[in-house]
Structure 1
Amino acid sequence: MLIHPWDAPRDDTEWQTWLAAHDFGQLAVNGLPGEPPFVQPLHFAFDAARGEAVTHLARPNPLWPALEANPRVLLSVVDDYVYVPGPWQAAPDGPPEHGVPTSFYTAVQLSCTAHVVDDPAEKSDMLNRQVGHFQPEGGSSRATPDEAPYGRLLSGIRGLRLVVTEVRAKFKYAGKKPEEVQDRIAGALAGRSGPGDDAAREHLVRRRGACA
């Protein structure tokens, strides 16, 4: 992923705050020799303090042999994306039809070392961490080995602890454009008010002046 200086996060807090609210992504696993990569959509719980994400998958999932052969994986999350028409991007002193269309989006890529977890107690702990993240208000029983309601189901899954080794993040929202163009795009996003437009506009306004 190409990251220009004006699209880079200002600090770790920026991408960590965004990722805390975006907990569904795609796990890319290197395929076995002669096979393409596996790409698995999944929910996950990211813990910035521990530097890891936890998740789980069904035991019959076909990616396990490839994952065990090469535990280097990439967890990719993309959201707050919109299409930006060319005229919105046109230079202040140029004709609208000369503007170049583009995409706005936020992307965070976590390079990780994957650790497969089969121990029932460890899997229970990971599941409870995930449920605590997604259901902080409670309402679900805790997973405990050999106890209802989830104990008998633990054998059907395998846990994944993804230890983060590198982070690449990008906030692509007209960071290099003049303020006049940024204002035009922000107004156009507000007027269109389509899917993702409000979030993209918030990023653009928040990051104003972030260009190098």
Structure 2
Amino acid sequence: MLIHPWDAARSDTEWQEWLAAHDFGQLAVNGLPGEPPHVQPLHFAYEAGHGERGRVLTHLARPNPLWHALEADPQVLLSVVDDYVFVPGPWQAAPDGPAEHGVPTSFYAAVQLRCTARVVDDPEETADILNRQVRHFQPDGGSAHAAVGEAPFGRMLSGIRALCLEVTDVRAKFKYANHRSEEVRERIAAGLAERNGPGDAAALAHHLRRRDG
């Protein structure tokens, strides 16, 4: 992922706060020799307070085909992309040029976590990871606690394997025209507000936040 200086996260806090509200991504695992990479969509819980860069907790079904590849190479990449919109060319046109010469582009936020994966088969630790995930997604409760040998979820633990991903490197990008002139940024902001389509409100919030920050 190319990250220009004006698109880079300004601090760890910026990408961590964004990631806390975006907990669905794609886990990329190197394939075995002669095979393409595995790309697994999944929900996850990011915990910033573990290690220098934090950790990611998730789980997958035991029959998932990626396990052999993951055990052969535990270096993985978790990619999360959201708050994306298409920006029409005229919105980005230079103030002293014709509107039709403006270059269309995409706005988006993206965080890529490079991780070392640890496969968890211990039933007690699997139950703990599962409960941590559930607490992340259901902080107000509503689900029974998973415990080994106890109903209703104890018997299901053998059907999953948990993953603890220790984050070793982070690449974060917030592509919202921060390098454009003030006049062009104002035009883009007005266009997003007027269009008000899917994703426009979130993109506009990033655009204004990074302009004013």
TM-score, with structure 2 as normaliser: 0.98
Corresponding residue of 1:89: 92
Q: Size of the alignment, in residue pairs?
A: 210
Q: Distance in 2 between matches of 1:98 and 1:209?
A: 27
Q: Please point out which of 67, 72, 85 is paired with 1:69.
A: 72
Q: Distance in 2 between matches of 1:201 and 1:82?
A: 10
Runs of 4+ off more than 2 Å? none
Q: Distance in 2 between matches of 1:30 and 1:21?
A: 27
What does the per-residue CA deviation read over 1:81-131, in whole Å, with 9 as the maximum and x for residues that have no partner?
000010000011110000000000000000000000000000000001000
Corresponding residue of 2:23: 23
> Secondary structure, in 3 states, of the residue corresponding to 2:190?
helix
Q: Distance in 2 between matches of 1:21 and 1:88?
A: 29
Q: Distance in 1 between matches of 2:97 and 2:208?
A: 23
1:14 and 2:14 equivalent? yes
Shift of 1:29: 0.2
> Secondary structure, in 3 states, of the residue corresponding to 1:54?
strand
Q: Please point out which of 184, 193, 196 is paired with 1:193.
A: 196
Q: Distance in 2 between matches of 1:143 and 1:94?
A: 62
Shift of 1:209: 5.7
Q: Distance in 2 between matches of 1:59 and 1:140?
A: 22
> Secondary structure, in 3 states, of the residue corresponding to 2:211?
coil
Q: Distance in 2 between matches of 1:89 and 1:199?
A: 19
Q: Distance in 2 between matches of 1:7 and 1:61?
A: 36
Q: Distance in 2 between matches of 1:34 and 1:144?
A: 40
1:57 and 2:57 equivalent? no
Q: Distance in 1 between matches of 2:212 and 2:162?
A: 42
Q: Distance in 1 between matches of 2:141 and 2:212?
A: 41
Q: Distance in 2 between matches of 1:38 and 1:10?
A: 31
> Secondary structure, in 3 states, of the residue corresponding to 2:146?
coil
> Secondary structure, in 3 states, of the residue corresponding to 2:194?
helix
Q: Distance in 2 between matches of 1:162 and 1:77?
A: 15
Q: Distance in 1 between matches of 2:94 and 2:134?
A: 49
Q: Please point out which of 89, 111, 119 is paired with 2:122.
A: 119
Q: Distance in 2 between matches of 1:162 and 1:192?
A: 39
One-letter code aligned to 2:136: H
1:154 and 2:167 equivalent? no
1:48 and 2:51 equivalent? no
In structure 1, runs of 5+ residues without a counterpart are none
Corresponding residue of 2:142: 139
Q: Distance in 2 between matches of 1:142 and 1:110?
A: 29
Q: Distance in 1 between matches of 2:171 and 2:10?
A: 12
TM-score, with structure 1 as normaliser: 0.98
One-letter code aligned to 2:38: F
Structure 2 counterparts to residues 159-198 of structure 1, below 5 A:
159-198=162-201
Identity of aligned residues (%): 75
Q: Distance in 2 between matches of 1:24 and 1:105?
A: 15
Q: Distance in 1 between matches of 2:212 and 2:33?
A: 46
In structure 2, runs of 5+ residues without a counterpart are none
